[in-house]
């Protein structure tokens, strides 16, 4: 009994950018990108692919699976770091796009951990009011926040959206628990500025621009350790052994991070869902896209225990356990 996933959905823009195309943009190679990151392609938005539009399409797919319509939704939480406007929220644009007139809507920013944070928040709303139906969406157009001259970052990120519809269930299934963490001291290792300040007193002398800046090596080390700790703490908190987990669906940052995580946990690579090769790192969208893919590929059966884990700018990280 608890918060259950009634439907999942995803949407990726049509345009696919290959490593070979990136070779023409920056000094890189398909071989370097594949061996260092595991990424072969990523989807890049075009006209009609604003962050909220990807989100609305992913949400429509999730609603269809749930057998609900937009007017049934009470709350829309969108996790994103790449909305086309700072105000209104991306979630308000999604509400308008879907025609979800009954819902209140807001965004959260926890970078690549945004979906996991939003899922935990939605779980708490439903525990407080089991009648609520909630859309939780992770959506990004990181192509609009990428420095296309920086080979350290532009090969890594992609665009896309994933969504879940949540409600209350009386059966065995549902969200079991979550564990979330942040450490703002480490902000500089992975960050993105906003537009330059209009207040001269607050204007930073050397604004690096509105794009992602990353210390890759440092991020790598923290990501593996943080996700491992979050997983082990959550399993201990919920008294569930690691071998009871059917599938781990992690944030799709990088194949080497995921392989290292599997190695440190001592689980086989098949237990970790991986699709980073197709989509790159889609930040808050990566977990719901992967969850939808696993769900539609029938990798999840009723009763299976699924573990979601994330790591991102902030730093933010965390894990959520779900009984399917
Ligand atoms: N193509 C070719 N060479 C590249 C390159 C690219 N796209 N990007 C960086 N390089 C070069 C660097 O300039 C450096 O060259 P130098 O030795 O001449 O200075 C060399 O490759 C090694 O760079 P380094 O950053 O040490 O490589 P790495 O092995 O750490 O791999 C990452 C770089 C980014 C792939 C890796 O650090 C990583 O995956 N980090 C985590 C990133 C991440 O997942 N972020 C999101 C978390 S939510």
| pLDDT digits 0-9 by tens, 220-232 | 999 999 999 999 9
Instruction: State which H helix or E strand residue 255 sits in.
Output: helix 255-265
Q: How far away, in angstroms, is 260 Cα from ligand 1 center?
A: 16
Residue listed under structure tokens 């890759």: 216
- 76-126 residue pLDDT tens: 999 999 999 999 999 999 999 999 999 999 999 999 999 999 999 999 999
- Whole-angstrom distance, CA of residue 24 vs CA of residue 4: 46
- 186-210 residue pLDDT tens: 999 999 998 888 888 888 766 667 8
- Same CATH topology for 2-172 and 175-323: the answer is yes
User: So what CATH class is 175-323?
Assistant: alpha beta
2-172 CATH pick, 3.40.47.10, 3.30.420.40, 3.40.50.300, 3.40.190.290: 3.40.47.10
Q: Which atom of ligand 1 is nearest to the CA of 36?
A: 35
Looking at residue 207, its pLDDT comes to 67
- Whole-angstrom distance, CA of residue 35 vs CA of residue 38: 6
Structural contact between residues 112 and 284, judged by C-beta atoms closer than 8 angstroms: yes
Reading the block at residue 174, the tokens are 């549902």
3-state class percentages of the chain: helix first, strand second, coil last, to nearest 5: 40, 25, 35
Looking at residue 196, its pLDDT comes to 84
Q: Domain segments of the chain: what residues?
A: 2-172, 175-323
The rounded average pLDDT for each run of 10 residues, N- to C-terminus, in the chain (324 residues) is 96 98 97 97 98 98 98 98 97 98 98 98 97 98 95 96 97 95 97 88 77 94 96 97 97 96 93 97 98 97 97 98 98
Q: Is 53 helix (H, G, I), strand (E, B) or coil?
A: helix
Q: How far away, in angstroms, is 38 Cα from ligand 1 center?
A: 12
Q: Which atom of ligand 1 is nearest to the CA of 155?
A: 7
Q: Is the CB of 312 under 6 A from ligand 1?
A: yes
Q: Is the CB of 214 under 6 A from ligand 1?
A: yes
Looking at residue 135, its pLDDT comes to 98
């Amino acid at each position: 009994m608890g918060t259950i996933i009634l439907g999942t959905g995803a949407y990726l823009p049509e345009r696919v950018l290959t490593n070979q195309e990136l070779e023409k943009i920056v000094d890189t190679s398909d071989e370097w990108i594949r061996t260092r990151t595991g990424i072969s392609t990523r989807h890049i938005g075009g006209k009609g692919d604003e962050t909220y539009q990807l989100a609305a399409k992913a949400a429509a797919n999730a609603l269809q699976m749930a057998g609900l319509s937009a007017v049934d939704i009470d709350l829309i939480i969108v996790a994103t770091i790449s909305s086309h406007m700072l105000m209104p929220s991306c979630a308000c644009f999604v509400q308008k796009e879907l025609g979800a007139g009954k819902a209140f809507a807001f965004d959260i920013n926890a970078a690549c951990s945004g979906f996991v944070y939003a899922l935990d928040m939605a779980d708490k709303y439903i525990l407080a009011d089991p009648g609520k139906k909630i859309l939780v969406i992770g959506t990004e157009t990181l192509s609009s926040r990428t420095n296309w001259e920086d080979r350290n970052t532009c090969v890594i990120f992609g665009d896309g959206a994933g969504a879940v519809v949540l409600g209350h269930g009386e059966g065995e299934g549902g969200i079991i628990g979550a564990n979330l963490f942040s450490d703002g001291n480490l902000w500089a290792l992975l960050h993105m500025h906003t537009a330059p300040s209009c207040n001269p007193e607050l204007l930073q002398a050397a604004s690096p621009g509105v794009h992602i800046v990353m210390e890759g090596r440092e991020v790598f080390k923290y990501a593996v350790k943080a996700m491992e700790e979050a997983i082990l703490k959550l399993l201990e908190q919920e008294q569930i052994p690691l071998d009871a987990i059917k599938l781990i669906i992690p944030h799709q940052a990088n194949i080497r991070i995921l392989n290292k995580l599997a190695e440190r946990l001592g689980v086989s690579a098949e237990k970790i869902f991986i699709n980073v090769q197709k989509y790159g790192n889609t930040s808050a969208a990566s977990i719901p896209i992967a969850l939808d893919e696993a769900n539609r590929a029938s990798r999840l059966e009723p009763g299976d225990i699924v573990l979601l884990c994330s790591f991102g700018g902030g730093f933010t990280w965390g894990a959520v356990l779900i009984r399917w």
